[in-house]
Amino acid sequence: MKADRVRWNRKYRDQTHPTGTSAIVKRYFRRARQGRALDLACGNGRNALFLVDQGFQVDAVDISDAGLSLVPRRPHRLHLVCADLDTFSIPRKCFDLILNIRYLNRRLFPYILEGLKRGGLLIFETYLEKKGATPKKISCRDHLLRPNELLHAFIGMHILYYEEKADPDGGFTASLVAVRETTR
């Protein structure tokens, strides 16, 4: 949505954003076959570039041209796409690995599953609403998972890891790593 682009372009111009690879990506990417990966809402490309360096061919999608302009390198195996994930179509059975880090778009849940090849890996980590707690960074509930929501959304997959926990910055996150079953 256009408002997302305006809001995020402003955030990328006015604030600093993490540049190190997410810990969950470093920890689990090896569970995926080295092949084609999709990074949803890739921001400054911190995770997409890590995957490229590990030998993946990466499609990295984000609505913010200001965020994408911060991607520090443009290796040939990185394909940056400036697009709105509210309308973006994830190609079916295409990816060995899909990342969704610090972004929530519930519309995408079924398409994420379909976008994975059989045996493909999903690494999903984003903010969680915690009962009785007021998260500091994100106020809009639409951008927050409910307890167990992520687990339920992908329960048809083979779950390797699921955790809901407090972050050092005072927020809460849910993290899931799962494999698309080879038989379904």
Give the residues lining the site for ligand SAM (CB under 6 A).
Answer: 1, 4, 8, 18, 41-43, 46, 62-64, 67, 84-86, 101-103
Minimal distance in Å, beta carbon 65 to ligand SAM? 9
CB atoms within 10 A of CB 103: 19
CB 147 within 8 A of CB 128: yes
Minimal distance in Å, beta carbon 49 to ligand SAM? 11
Minimal distance in Å, beta carbon 130 to ligand SAM? 18
Nearest CA-CA partner of 15 in 44, 51, 52 = 44
Q: Tell whether the torsion through CA atoms of 38, 96, 121 and 109 is positive or negative.
A: positive
Minimal distance in Å, beta carbon 8 to ligand SAM? 3
Nearest residue (CB) to ligand SAM, 18 versus 156: 18
Minimal distance in Å, beta carbon 36 to ligand SAM? 18
Q: Which residues have CB under 8 Å from 83's CB, separation 6+? A: 61, 62, 63
Nearest residue (CB) to ligand SAM, 72 versus 132: 72
Q: Which residues have CB under 8 Å from 15's CB, separation 6+? A: none
Nearest residue (CB) to ligand SAM, 1 versus 166: 1
| β-bridge partners, 173 | 127, 165
Nearest residue (CB) to ligand SAM, 64 versus 175: 64
Minimal distance in Å, beta carbon 5 to ligand SAM? 7
**% helix, strand, coil for the chain, step of 5:** 30, 30, 40
Q: Which residue number has the CB closest to ligand SAM? A: 43
Element (H, E) at 122: strand 116-127
Q: 57 by DSSP, 3-state: which?
A: strand
Nearest residue (CB) to ligand SAM, 41 versus 80: 41
